[in-house]
Amino acid sequence: MERSRFALIGAGRMGLFHGETLSHRLPGARLAAVADPVGGGKELDADRFYTDAAQVWDDPEIDAVVIAAPARLHSDLIVAAARAGKHVFCEKPTALTLADADRAIAATRDAGVVFQVGFQRRFAPDWAAARALLDGGQIGTPRLLRSLTRDPGGFDPARVPPDTIFFETLIHDFDVLRFLNPGAHAVEVYATADALVEPAWRERGLRDTAAVLVRFDNGTTGFAEACFATSYGHDVRAEVFGSAGAATMGDARRTAMTFSGPSGRTVATMHSDQELFGNAYIAELAAFTDAIRTGTPPPVTGDDARAALAIAVAAAESARTGHPVRITP
């Protein structure tokens, strides 16, 4: 089988993981190029290294791109890649405004390229199994949903733009709420947020802790929460409660071992997203590669990303105004 030739755009922490996946973890992929403005990614096993993404658009050997650049650049990179005829996998969010998301989606549709977005939790075994139960009717009609993200901390508040907690952290949870309530649309959002980890940065716009209530058009209520720092590791969980049952997802334990000693009972926990979701990150790129090869639709589309972004935009506005915000189609 001929391997799809990829270019990685952005060689930060997440980009390096995706680059390793393309080089060594996916038989159907080959990392042909890395484009990073500061020359990062040289440790990756790539054929070529660029400092300008435009060099990727002009490279006839590149079939697809994986965009792991800063979020503010995503929509422009998606548009440029699509116009160059490259299939696009982009880390979340696709954009920071709905207008830019629409522009990116339109560009990929006009070009006829595969466009997939990086919501890896859909590919994690717990979340996929819960969705299978939903699709099979065992959970019944969803009534209440919950999703949470508690990061392990260690962030620099000076490098966190306003509303990051909604657009780059909770956007995963907003997608999970939609994933666990298939076919429903969010209609109203109420959010509250504050700087509780770094209160000295509150007046500069930092929000490091947030809670969001989301109402859907089928009557289901979803709750999402996030915090940028925990004392015990990387904690990601979810629950769907329905008319016929309930399913819970997420376990931050590193192993199933529990140690009991004089000070009590302890378990080892995971401390990074790549440790917690490593296999899911690989699975999402495998699904993208399969979509390119077979011509089938990707499992996470631009429309999925736009719907999660609409909730994030409403949540940011609600947190600023203190009032619920309606979502219009």
- Long-range contacts, stretch 298-303, CB < 8 angstroms, 24+ apart: 298/114, 298/115, 298/116, 299/116, 299/122, 299/123, 300/116, 300/117, 300/118, 300/119, 300/122, 301/115, 301/116, 301/117, 302/94, 302/101, 302/104, 302/105, 302/108, 302/115, 302/117, 303/105
Measuring CA to CA, which residue among 279, 283, 260 is closest to residue 270?
279
DSSP state of 152: B
Instruction: Say whether pLDDT at 203 is over 60.
Output: yes
Instruction: Say whether pLDDT at 206 is over 70.
Output: yes
pLDDT, tens digit (0-9, with 9 covering 90-100), for 245-279? 999 999 888 888 999 999 999 999 999 999 999 99
Check residue 256 and give its pLDDT: 86
Look at strands 115-118 and 87-91 and give their pairing: parallel
Average pLDDT over the chain reads 96
Taking the C-alpha atoms of residue 69 and residue 155, their distance in angstroms, rounded to an integer, is 18
Percent of the chain at pLDDT > 90 equals: 96
pLDDT, tens digit (0-9, with 9 covering 90-100), for 289-329? 999 999 999 999 999 999 999 999 999 999 999 999 999 87
Statement: the pTM of the whole predicted model exceeds 0.85: yes
Read out DSSP for 104-121? Answer: HHHHHHHHT--EEEE-GG
Q: What is the mean pLDDT of residues 152-161?
A: 94
Check residue 319 and give its pLDDT: 98
Taking the C-alpha atoms of residue 218 and residue 184, their distance in angstroms, rounded to an integer, is 6
Give SS3 for 32.
strand
**What percent helix, strand, coil does the chain show, rounded to 5?**
40, 30, 35
DSSP state of 229: B
Residue whose entry in the numeric block shows the structure tokens 């925990």: 230
Burial (CB count <10 Å: 0-12, 13-18, 19+), residue 25: middle
Check residue 252 and give its pLDDT: 86
Residue 2 pLDDT class (50, 70, 90 cuts): confident
pLDDT, tens digit (0-9, with 9 covering 90-100), for 217-236? 999 999 999 999 999 999 99
- Angle formed by the axes of helices 98-111 and 74-83, nearest 10°: 10
Q: What is the mean pLDDT of residues 197-207?
A: 96
pLDDT, tens digit (0-9, with 9 covering 90-100), for 52-85? 999 999 999 999 999 999 999 999 999 999 999 9
Check residue 41 and give its pLDDT: 95
pLDDT, tens digit (0-9, with 9 covering 90-100), for 272-291? 999 999 999 999 999 999 99
Taking the C-alpha atoms of residue 145 and residue 180, their distance in angstroms, rounded to an integer, is 7
Residue 23 pLDDT class (50, 70, 90 cuts): very high
Residue 1 pLDDT class (50, 70, 90 cuts): low
pLDDT, tens digit (0-9, with 9 covering 90-100), for 186-199? 999 999 999 999 99
Helix/strand number for the chain, H first, E second = 9, 15
Region for residue 153 given its phi and psi (left: phi exceeds 0; alpha: psi -120 to 50; beta: otherwise): left
